[in-house]
Amino acid sequence: MNNESIMQKALGKQWQQLPPVLQAHYQYEKNSDMGYLNIEYPSYMQPYLTFLHRLGALINRHGKKIPTTVEKQMQGDRQYWNRTIQFPDNKNILFKSIWVHDKGNELIEYVNPLIGLRMRVYVENDKLHYEGVNFVLKIGDRLIPIPEWLFLGHTTIIEAQKGDDEFEMDFIVKHPLLGRVFRYSGKFKNVSDLIKK
């Protein structure tokens, strides 16, 4: 049985360069992270983000240091992510996605059965980097590429270990004409061992 996570498959030999906290975050076994998110975007993006959220993509509310739980588990060759963002008014937002390894160092994150974001991953200076390649429209077994700028903008993510047991992440989407149209960033800790005890 192959017990490699999606990230381990995409990184290949670079998996060994990933700091231990990030290896725990992307492990094959079912696991959870707890932390907070800061969510920022220009006000003119609100209607579009609300539309995208209805399709299963992104988060359509602002906030600072919002408690967030991320749960992940592998099923076959897919990894299921469930994010729960707990806003102060007790209205939780769920953001779910499915990850699959595509080819080489590329993976696709599907926000619904039809739409996904293809990203290239690599490790540099002890940090995990994601670079958006394109969006994909899945029709049957066929993947139709959609340029990033046509859907939302170019995605970059950087994750770095902080201290012995935490990591920081910074997710940014920039449109070639509009500039930065979305960002969420935060700090997390893998709590799987604490839950098991």
pLDDT tens-digit map of 45-76: 999 999 999 999 999 999 999 999 999 999 99
Q: Say yes or no to pLDDT of 123 above 60.
A: yes
Angle at 64 between CA 66 and CA 23, to 5 degrees: 60
pLDDT tens-digit map of 79-117: 999 999 999 998 999 999 999 999 999 999 999 999 999
3-state secondary structure (DSSP) of residue 41: coil
Return the pLDDT at 144.
97
Q: Which two tokens stand for residue 30?
A: 């079912």
Q: Say yes or no to pLDDT of 1 above 80.
A: no
Please provide the CATH number assigned to the domain covering 6-196: 2.40.128.20
Q: Say yes or no to pLDDT of 195 above 90.
A: no
Share of the chain above pLDDT 70, in %: 97
Return the pLDDT at 192.
80
Domain boundaries, the chain: 6-196
Return the pLDDT at 196.
44
Q: Say yes or no to pLDDT of 24 above 70.
A: yes
Work out the mean pLDDT of the chain and round it to a whole number. 95
Return the pLDDT at 197.
39
Instruction: Calculate mean pLDDT across residues 127-146.
Output: 97
Q: Which two tokens stand for residue 139?
A: 């029709």
Q: Say yes or no to pLDDT of 132 above 80.
A: yes
Q: Say yes or no to pLDDT of 194 above 70.
A: no
Identify whether the C-beta of residue 167 lies closer than 8 Å to the C-beta of residue 187.
yes
Distance in angstroms (rounded) separating the CA atoms of residues 171 and 183:
6
